[in-house]
Amino acid sequence: MSRPTASPASGSPFTGTGDALRFALKRDRLLLPLCVLGLIGWVGLYVASYSGLYGTQADLNSLYQSVTGNPALVAMVGPTDGLRSLGGATAWETLPVVSVISAIFAMFVVVRHTRAEEEDGRSELLLAAGSGRLATLTATVVITAGALLLAAVGWYVVFLATGYEADSSLLLVAAILGVGLVFTGTTAICVQVTAKARTARGLVGIVIGLAYFLRALGDTGPDALAWLSPLGWAEKTKPFYDDQWWPLILPVGTTILTVAFALWLLERRDIGSGLIQPRPGPARAHPSLLHPLGFSLRVQRGSIIGWTYLLFVYGFAIGAVGNNIEGILESSTSLTAAFASASDNIVDSYFASIFTVLALMASGFAIGGVLRPHSEETHDRAALLMAGPLGKVRWALGHVLIAYVASAMMMALLGLGLGLGLGVVTGDFGELGTLVASGFAQAPAIWLTASLAVLLFGISSRASGAAWGLLVAFVVVWSIASFGDLPDWIVDLSPFSHIPAVPAVPLDATPLWIMTALSAVFTTAGMLLWRRRDLL
């Protein structure tokens, strides 16, 4: 860079951190402030909806009555001990979901400025221009932490302005900030391990999933497991009912250790490669590669296998826990009669909400899959194929259909995992078919979301990225609608609001057919537009 901040002769690995910082901030001058504002506004919406919902102590008592001791909700959200106050209820509902979103946000920012830059060969330019080896990573950690801190300050202001108790509010936002920081450090390590940005994000995603799962297991079983999870640490601060500040030591210490370890790894590895080196492969192509569809399948194979495996294992684990929930419900005498009589339904309701959450997650896979032609286009690989006798639509539609089939298959396998997990523990596999069908029933909402991505891709290459914003909007709608209060018309905008809550209710196929038909319409429109537009 032209103006090194440190003395040019110093040769420290941190030389140029200031320039890297300015450079990254300049690059993200719009995106980062928008994300931070989005994070603050989202929590603002939550908080606003609670004050309306739980305005009186009677409202709070009835919430407490309806959820206390429900292990399904404890597993999904967290312990319900603090629900007697508005603050406690708010903390219970916001802390887990905002923490996970903060972790995902940290993951995207860190990967974008480190491994993605390195993969595209841009970081070499900075390094060759005298920037220290550790400058970019250091600057990225600072920026990510800064953005998270700004969001936390924003949340704190939102809580204070709404009249929440100051100390507890501070503890709540600090606990969430802690999760974001831990995953900033975790991502910093993951980007050293893999040579590709996509794989690095997958790796961090697995760690976040694991943290969530350990927290859920710990809250419904052996408490020690929750202490292994950064999400568990956040929960253990118990804001608004038993303010505990000392668990914050854990995220602070972990953040310092993980960032230090990432810097240590970075100083020792080759630029451009990960810790895992690619191995030589076959000199001849497998026959399956010699068909355009087979080739597209190969391009998507890694992510299909990864996601399917993840959903199946997750389903199995949830299924096994689901049985535990049933057991607790049956043996419990403290539950109200109404609650007990509906016990079957409670397990099924729990499964239904699991299906929705994971369908939203699987939409991430589906959008990534249908947008493969877009990423092939931006990486300048599409022209090599399109210059051959392969039709634009035939090629792109191949990718789209692979993503549609794979997302439906992985949802069905999620149902299978649930059913098997439940069956292995109870010895009763009777629900297997219903659960597989319930998983499959989520597919139309995933298709509809992905087909909107196809439409955007058809409009222009630049518009394609907006599909991710759409998914985020659906996640926000779901998360607010499931706890708080949103106008019906907004809830109705999300396809995921129209999937019947199977297996808790009988399957009504009408909305599924409508959404499938709409997906077909959007996909066709996207393909027609794509045929008419220039390749990037």
Q: b/e string for 313-352 if b means 16 or more Cβ within 10 A?
A: ebbbbbbbbbbebbebbeeeeebeeebeebbeebbbbbbb
Site membership for another protein, residue 108 (CB under 8 A): no
Q: Which of 338, 384, 427, 510 binds another protein (CB under 8 A)?
A: 384
Q: Among 125, 160, 275, 285, which residue interacts with another protein (rule: CB under 8 A)? A: 285
Nearer to another protein, 69 or 294 (CB): 294
Among 124, 380, 485, 492, interactor with another protein by CB under 8 A = 380
Among 292, 306, 465, 511, contact with another protein (rule: CB under 8 A)? 292
Instruction: Examine residue 283 and tell whether it contacts another protein (CB under 8 A).
Output: yes
* Distance between CA atoms of residues 367 and 371, nearest Å: 6
Closest contact distance (angstroms) between CB of 178 and another protein is: 36
Tell me: does residue 3 bind another protein (CB under 8 A): no
Distance, CA of 138 to CA of 20 (rounded, Å): 9
Quick one: which of 114, 100, 175, 174 has its CA closest to 144? 114
Q: Work out how close the CB of 282 gets to another protein at its nearest, in angstroms, rounded to a whole number.
A: 6
**CA trace torsion 313, 318, 322, 323 (10° rounding):** 30
Return the number of the residue (22 or 196) whose C-beta is nearest another protein.
196
CA distance 354 to 442: 11
CB of 103 to another protein, least distance (A): 27
Least spacing, CB of residue 135 vs another protein, in Å:
25
Sign of CA pseudo-dihedral 223, 229, 233, 239: negative
Shortest CB 82 distance to another protein, Å = 48
Q: Is 276 in the site for another protein (CB under 8 A)?
A: no
Among residues 340, 385, 425, 501, the one that binds another protein under rule CB under 8 A: 385
By CB under 8 A, name the one of 63, 195, 329, 418 that touches another protein.
195
Contact region for another protein (CB under 8 A) — 32-40, 101-109, 292-300, 404-412?
292-300
For 223, the token pair is 């408490």
Residues contacting residue 103 through CB under 8 Å, at least 6 positions apart = 179, 180, 182, 183, 204, 208, 211, 230
Give the one residue of 129, 383, 424, 528 binding another protein; rule: CB under 8 A.
383
Per CB under 8 A, the list member of 284, 337, 338, 427 interacting with another protein is 284
- Residue 379 near another protein by CB under 8 A: yes
Q: Does 388 bind another protein (CB under 8 A)?
A: yes
Interface region with another protein, contact rule CB under 8 A, candidates 12-20, 136-144, 287-295, 481-489:
287-295
Q: Before 222, cis peptide (omega within 30)?
A: no
* Closest to 15 in 3D by CA, of 26, 25, 1: 1
Asked if 487 interacts with another protein (CB under 8 A), we say no
d(CA 143, CA 158): 22
Q: In terms of C-beta density within 10 A (0-12 exposed, 13-18 middle, 19 or more buried), how is residue 157 classed?
A: middle
Asked if residue 291 binds another protein (CB under 8 A), the reply is: yes
Instruction: Tell whether residue 128 is a contact of another protein (CB under 8 A).
Output: no
> How large is the angle between the packed helices 392-426 and 343-370, nearest 10 degrees?
150
Q: Which residues bind another protein (CB under 8 A)?
A: 195-196, 278-286, 289-292, 295, 298-299, 302, 379-381, 383-392, 532, 534-535
